[in-house]
Amino acid sequence: MTQSINTPEMQALTRWLRERRTDQGLSMRDLGLRLGMPHSYVHKVEQGERRLDVVEYVWYCKGLGIPARDGLDLVETCMAAPMLGRGR
């Protein structure tokens, strides 16, 4: 099994989180303030340099005012796609 941070599913999730933030017109600094974290935390999450555990993911979604379930549905959709060339 590969590290989840390097998978298509995680890349899709971080892209989705970034899009939700930018759709709201929030800067990384704005979201960091909502989360009580430095903007570098948001940057690292969105660039795939930092993995979120499930509790952090829910906090992140709450900071964005979005349902965490929507991102989980995205991950499940990605997992249902053909797994050609994946190390699983």
Q: Return the domain boundaries, the chain.
A: 11-78
Candidates 48, 38, 57; CA nearest to 14 is 48
Q: Which two tokens stand for residue 72?
A: 């989980």
Q: What is the structure's pLDDT at 81?
A: 80
**pLDDT for the residue numbered 84:** 47
Low-confidence ranges of the chain (pLDDT < 50): 1, 84-85, 87-88
Q: How far apart are CA 54 and CA 39, in angstroms?
A: 20
For residue 2, what pLDDT is reported? 56
Task: Evaluate whether the domain defined by 11-78 bears CATH number 1.10.260.40.
Answer: yes
Question: Model's pTM, two decimal places?
Answer: 0.85
